[in-house]
Amino acid sequence: MTLSVSIIVPVYNEEDVIVNCLKACLEQTHLPKEVIMVDNNSSDNSLHLAKEFKKTHKKGFLLKIIAEKEPGLVPARNAGFAYATGDIYGRIDADTLIRTDWVENLIKAFSDVNVMGVSGPVLYYDMPWRNFGLKADLIMRRIVLGVNRKYKFLFGSNMAVRSQAWEIIKSKVCRDEADLFHEDIDISLHLKEANLAIAFVSNLVAGISARRMATPPKEYHNYVKRFSRTYNAHNVKQFGRKTPEYILMSIYPPLHILHKSYEKRFLRQGGLNKYSKKFFHR
């Protein structure tokens, strides 16, 4: 029997990207069972655009729109997982564009009954040299996996967990009311603590915005330190745990400048509406 996939998309003020995200979920070689958009108190046009999209894309595509009033990514994610009915819970961000074979490759990855979590590489669609960026992202993630042999990590913009694995850890994952942690790393560590295996799948490709690189240095540094805060909360002392932090801090200066210089050109050339089909169909 083929496994079914629920895709969960937490949303907070994402009117510029949400329609393209939903389109990517619809244009799959193997349709998901459902897509669950969790509106987390958006004050912009995100909710209206999603409702309009739902009206015009009913055939063969089940979009569920729910609300989570408690602010934060963790409450929104938990609400989406609680509402999901699939065998696999795919979790992406509102700025994520999954490639058309994403659900198909996800099902193949979970055909191994020992695999309980899956993640893949990303391509930054609003940066130049995208294919080079994808290769660089693959290399970076393999370095992190090689250094941290004991731990494999999920990446929140491109990840999935098996429903029964979530049932095991859902009461244990950190609520993170102070918003200090990386919620995807937290899930990864809880899976590890429960001896549940995570797989990295190189052909599970998703595109995301590089908008994080546009944040000011102090804000970006605080974002990167979420790794250490999450590890400390789990008492992880392993050698190499700071590798992601070193990598992210080293790439920030050139990518911050590059993103700033390329952003206007990207928008002038059609932005996400133009590039979504060009780079994410296989």
* Phi/psi of residue 12, nearest 5 degrees: -140, 105
pLDDT of residue 263: 76
Exposure string of 15-41, with b = 16+ CB inside 10 Å and e = fewer, is bbbbbbbbbbbbbbebbbbbbbbbbbe
HSE-up (13 A, CA, CB side) for residue 123: 22
pLDDT of residue 152: 80
pLDDT of residue 264: 75
The set of residues, in sequence order, having a beta carbon less than 8 Å from that of 226 and lying 6+ positions away, is: 180, 181, 182, 185
Positions of the chain with pLDDT under 50: 282
Partners of residue 34 on adjacent β-strands:
6
Domains of the chain, by residue range, sit at: 5-280
Alpha carbons 202 and 191: distance in angstroms, whole number: 20
| Assigned CATH topology for domain 5-280 | Spore Coat Polysaccharide Biosynthesis Protein SpsA; Chain A (3.90.550)
Exposure string of 72-99, with b = 16+ CB inside 10 Å and e = fewer, is bbbbbbbbbbeebebbbbbbbbbbbbbb
Partners of residue 118 on adjacent β-strands:
160, 199
Helical packing angle, 243-268 and 271-280, nearest 10°: 120
pLDDT of residue 279: 52
Residue that the structure tokens 């349709």 belong to = 31
Partners of residue 90 on adjacent β-strands:
7, 160
Please state the pTM of the whole predicted model.
0.92
